[in-house]
Amino acid sequence: MWNSPIDLAPRAAQILRMLIYPIQFDADPLNGIDRVVDQVIRADLKLLPADVIAAIDSGLASHARLSELIPQSHTEAVIRGFLAALRIRLET
């Protein structure tokens, strides 16, 4: 069902890695959403929320294994759930 994370466009994969990295060791990644917004999106002036949303949409629409973008132990469902919740947070 899931393909290699290489199936993503390079820029989308880069952004998704930046979003997953801060929560890779969190027991519940959903608790790290505000931290990711502060550390990744607000701190990087070149990374616009629209770019992040586009990367999340691309990743969630793909069959790529997003859980393999960086070494970490969360399941595919957990990573996809985190990204979906982060997307909602960015829209508000």
Name residue 44's amino acid.
D
Q: How many domains does the chain have?
A: 1
Confidence of residue 7 (pLDDT cuts 50, 70, 90): confident
Q: Find the mean pLDDT for residues 66-82.
A: 96
Backbone angles phi, psi at 34, to 5 degrees: -65, -40
Any bridge partners for residue 3, and if so which? Answer: 64
Bigger pLDDT: 73 vs 5 = 73
> DSSP code of 62?
S
Confidence of residue 57 (pLDDT cuts 50, 70, 90): very high
Domain of 77 in residue numbering reads as 5-91
Q: What gap in Å lies between CA 41 and CA 24, rounded to an integer?
A: 17
Residue 5: CB atoms within 10 Å: 18
Q: Is the pLDDT of residue 47 over 60?
A: yes
